[in-house]
Structure 1
Amino acid sequence: MRLNKFMLATLLLASAGAQAVTVKMQDLTSGAEVGLVTLTDNHYGVVFTPALSGLPAGLHGFHVHANGSCDSSVKDGQKVLGGAAGGHYDPQQTGRHGAPWQDNAHRGDLPPLYVDNAGSADQPVLSPRLTLKELSGKALMIHAGGDNHADHPAPLGGGGARMVCGVIP
């Protein structure tokens, strides 16, 4: 039996006694489940290990959002998929989008999610300023575009619409 990267990481984390939670991720347009992201606490921060498929290839904005909901909302008379998740998790109210390691930026700003040409994402990313405990009840969001980790030339890293979401237990 071949072990994929996700299964191997899960086995290693379980054997190390690391605390972890799994987030079911759902396409906001179709409602279909696209896979899981496992969040694991360690002394370097939180590791986000995706096991996702059926996504557009390329880099995508990847963020923790403030509210634990993936429901749609209405803004300026327009439906916003995943809008009930609110903005990026920003407990220090910096009001700035930035890199995961910047102290003066949203704490929910994660490294971008890489999706290969087959539509799969399995490369873990690390967020050094987060703990698993603080993430319970927040939303995990994947955006339709990349993320330059700045508010210029476009706000919130220039990423696109909210595409995939899951609530962190």
Structure 2
Amino acid sequence: MKRFTLTILALAFSAGAQAAGDNVEMNLVTSQSVGQSIGSIKISETDKGLEFAPDLKALPPGEHGFHIHANGSCQPAIKEGKASAAEAAGGHFDPEKTGKHEGPDGKGHLGDLPALIVDKDGKATTPVYAPRLKKFADIEGKALMIHVGGDNMSDHPKPLGGGGARYACGVIK
């Protein structure tokens, strides 16, 4: 009986010692609804910061803006009098209220992630790292967003890196 109890305690301890993380389901978004799943992104704590490992399909090839947004919703909402895709996610995660988009290594939004790269077949599988984000708990309850266009990691010539419309979204649980 003692061995059984010790084994159970050891298993419980090792399960609790694992790094926190989540597998976030990503869905296409429109100004009318949250659509079909295009895959998932696994988030893990690493010594390089949080790792975002995509397993996505059906995306336009090229570079896409990739960010954590402030609210844990992918629902459409009204912006400037019009329905807008995933607008309920709010703006980029910016707990320090910097108001700046400077990329994952800058001193701006904490939600700025490296660009997501999609291959010619519409798949994204290359992990990216957020060096300023160390703990999964810091982003729980937020939204993960993929934008239509790329990201120049600046607010010029267009705000928020110029990524444009919201294309796919998932809630970090």
TM > 0.5: yes
Aligned to 1:20: 21
Q: Which amino acid aligns with 1:43?
A: D
For 1:105-116, list aligned pairs within 5 A.
105-116=108-119
Q: CA deviation at 1:19?
A: 2.9
Residues of 2 paired with 1:28 and 1:120: CA distance? 17
Superposed, which structure 2 residues align to 1:2-151 within 5 Å? 17-29=18-30, 31-102=35-106, 104-130=107-133, 131-151=135-155
User: How far is 1:17 from its partner?
Assistant: 4.0
Q: Deviations over 1:80-117 (max 9, x none)?
A: 10000000000000000011011x20000000000001
SS at match of 1:32: strand
Distance 2:152 2:22 in 1: 28
Q: What letter corresponds to residue 28 of structure 2 in structure 1?
A: D
Q: How many residues align?
A: 154
Instruction: Describe the superposition over 1:20-66 as per-residue Cα deviations: whole angstroms up to 9, x where unpaired.
Output: 21100000037010000000011221000000000000000000000
Unaligned runs of 5+ in 2: 1-14
Corresponding residue SS for 2:138: helix
- Give the counterpart letter for 1:58 in structure 2: G
Between stretches 22-31 and 130-139, larger displacement belongs to: 22-31
The residue number in structure 1 matching 2:158 is: 154
- RMSD of aligned Cα (Å): 1.5
- Give the drift of 1:18: 3.5
Q: Which residue is 1:167 aligned to?
A: 171
Alignment partners' CA distance in 1, 2:21 and 2:70:
20
TM-score with structure 1 setting the length? 0.88
User: Considering only CA atoms, is the larger Rg found in Structure 1 or Structure 2?
Assistant: 2
Amino acid of the residue matched to residue 133 of structure 1?
A
Q: Which amino acid aligns with 2:123?
A: S
